[in-house]
A = this chain, B = another copy of it.
Amino acid sequence: MTNTSNAKVGDSAITTSANTGKNSRNKRSVERKLAELKRRLLEISDLGAAGAVLSWDQATYMPKNGAGARARQNATLSKLVHEKSVDPALGKLLDELEPHASSLPGDSDEASLIRVARRDFEKANKVPIDYVARAREFGSVSYDAWTRARPANDFTSMRPFLEKAVDLGREYAEFFAPYKHVADPLIDDADEGMTTASMGALFAELRKELVPIVSAISNQPAIDDHCLRGTFSEPSQLDFGLSVVKQFGYDLERGRLDKTLHPFCTKSSAGDVRITTRVDESRIGEALFSTLHEAGHALYEQGVSSKFEGTPLGTGASAGVHESQSRLWENIVGRGRAFWQHFYPVLQHIFPDQLHGVTLETFYRAINKVERSLIRTDADEVTYNLHIMMRFDLELGLLEGHLQVKDLPEAWHERMQADFGLVPTDDRDGCLQDVHWYMGAIGGGFQSYTIGNILSAQFYAAAIKARPGIPSETATGEFCTLHDWLRTHVYQYGRKFKPTELVERATGGEMNLGPYLCYLRAKYGEFYRLPNV
């Protein structure tokens, strides 16, 4: 109601005026509270951003001996973030804003902000502050130890860290008791709405489809991928990767690429979303695909609407949805034939001697070679999910307590034998290979990759359906239409919608295996004989 509508006389006018006064006082009060809510959330976001910069620094440029103090500094920041996240004054504000939120359409920005802020507040309130500081400091120290232990193949030195990580995972779960499964609270943190049971069912369904495919492919002659080996200079590899992701739409005025041990993407603001990669000069592929992968995450974060900056809505919807974007750009786009129709000549120009006489088709097959292998991050699209399932199951074993950390290397070997017919010769390529278990509490860290694979195909299928020109655009090295569709239907919303709702809105249906299996069968059926469905 505006003041101009207030032109009556007599009692009714007085009443209206009084109501208007009351309404506008209410409105002002709500506005004040919303502003105060946003101020508090911004402070939390700023401290989180500072932590992100400190972690990026630790993983890129920090001198070796900075690790001890950095662990403590990160812990101090986490503790403060937590203190501010559980401040009763924040809870009171959220309570007071509840009637306002209820009066709004459920999909309005403000209602979503209040809903998500409440979810975060309630979750944070279950976790004691001392746990947060301990877990963060431990994560930093453990990561630092892992960076030395993995190259040294030294699982023994990591055992106490991993035992502690299991304890921390269990301790965390207890804060959310009662639960159906000890891993549920950890999974829900990463992928809202998913549980150990629902993931188990999804994995079982996927496994039933994948195992015969992998098995059929393994009985066929291996694809020759020796063209990917040679000497590929680091700067050229980095430059090529950067030129590709720039073409994807990654904005370098709001980002940068650096080298690290275990690639990641990090955001400290909408204007600062960085990616990292690692380079092996003896192989073309690792640096490139990890750059494309992280750029997928970065495109998502750079695409979140700036109106959500500094609020809990200003980031991706969940770990799984995030992973769908890294996998979409890395695999569906970056390992696709259309992509290489444009970029292979460019790559040949950069590495003329190394790729001399190697045809596009040879190269395309090489980068898509399906092979039972030891290292998850190097795995092809078909076997990748088997790596995830294995880690997910071992993690459950550790959390449930029927697998002891001391027995992990052996359990790893057994499962590798069973699923891949392979056994790593050392722990470096075995249970030391993933950073996830060595950076804090374990649990809930792996299912997102498979959710991501599934959703990547589902989002891509929806995009193609809406904009059929995408593949031919890709073949000319242009990605505007795809990027634009993803920004419009996924990225811009940040955490505004629950993952399930976001998927529904963008693809018109629930998460389902259909598009992913279709994609795998179509792509790999071109150069492998696959079992009939």
Taking a contact as CB atoms under 8 Å apart, the answer to whether A271 and B66 are in contact is yes
Nearest CB of chain B from residue A87's CB, rounded to whole Å? 13
Residues of B within 8 A of A80 (CB): 47, 80
With CB as the reference atom, state the residue of chain B lying closest to A62: B272
A270 to B73, CA, bound (A): 13
Residues of B within 8 A of A68 (CB): 269, 271
Q: State which residues 132-155 of A face B: CB under 8 Å.
A: none
Taking a contact as CB atoms under 8 Å apart, the answer to whether B258 and A63 are in contact is no
How many of chain A's residues touch chain B, expressed as a range? 35 or more
A39 to B498, CA, bound (A): 40
Taking a contact as CB atoms under 8 Å apart, the answer to whether B309 and A274 are in contact is no
A77 to B77, CA, bound (A): 10
If A69-B271, A76-B43, A269-B69 touch, whether A63 touches B252 (CB-CB below 8 Å) is yes
Taking a contact as CB atoms under 8 Å apart, the answer to whether A46 and B63 are in contact is no
Nearest CB of chain B from residue A105's CB, rounded to whole Å? 30
Q: State which residues 1-59 of A face B: CB under 8 Å.
A: 42-43, 46-47, 49-51, 53-54, 57
Residues of B within 8 A of A42 (CB): 72, 76
| Chain A 250-266: CB-based contact to B (< 8 A → 1; otherwise 0) | 01111110100000000
Residues of B within 8 A of A402 (CB): none
Taking a contact as CB atoms under 8 Å apart, the answer to whether B268 and A66 are in contact is yes
A382 to B314, CA, bound (A): 55
Please classify the interface of chain A as helix (H, G, I), strand (E, B), loop, or mixed, using the class held by over half of its residues. Answer: helix
When all copies of this chain in the complex are counted, the total is: 2
Taking a contact as CB atoms under 8 Å apart, the answer to whether A272 and B50 are in contact is no
A61 to B258, CA, bound (A): 10
Taking a contact as CB atoms under 8 Å apart, the answer to whether B271 and A46 are in contact is no
Max chain B Cβ within 10 angstroms of own Cβ: one of A54, A57, A65, A310: A65
Residues of B within 8 A of A270 (CB): 69
Residues of B within 8 A of A57 (CB): 53, 57
Residues of B within 8 A of A54 (CB): 50, 53
With CB as the reference atom, state the residue of chain B lying closest to A309: B69
Nearest CB of chain B from residue A160's CB, rounded to whole Å? 23
Nearest CB of chain B from residue A50's CB, rounded to whole Å? 5
Taking a contact as CB atoms under 8 Å apart, the answer to whether A50 and B77 are in contact is yes
With CB as the reference atom, state the residue of chain B lying closest to A73: B46
Among B47, B51, B256, B309, contact of A63 (Cβ-Cβ < 8 Å): B256
Nearest CB of chain B from residue A49's CB, rounded to whole Å? 5
Nearest CB of chain B from residue A233's CB, rounded to whole Å? 16
A258 to B65, CA, bound (A): 17
Taking a contact as CB atoms under 8 Å apart, the answer to whether A268 and B53 are in contact is no
Taking a contact as CB atoms under 8 Å apart, the answer to whether A65 and B256 are in contact is no
Residues of B within 8 A of A62 (CB): 272
With CB as the reference atom, state the residue of chain B lying closest to A61: B256
Q: State which residues 380-437 of A face B: CB under 8 Å.
A: none
Apart from the given pairs A49-B73, A50-B50, 9 other A-B contacts in the complex at a CB distance below 8 Å: A47-B76, A47-B77, A53-B53, A63-B274, A64-B253, A67-B271, A68-B269, A68-B271, A73-B269
**17 A-B contacts (beta carbon < 8 Å):** A49-B73, A50-B50, A53-B73, A61-B61, A62-B272, A63-B253, A63-B254, A63-B255, A65-B272, A66-B254, A66-B268, A67-B271, A68-B269, A69-B268, A69-B272, A69-B309, A70-B268
Interface residues of A (CB under 8 A from B): 42-43, 46-47, 49-51, 53-54, 57, 61-70, 72-73, 76-77, 80, 251-256, 258, 268-272, 274, 309-310
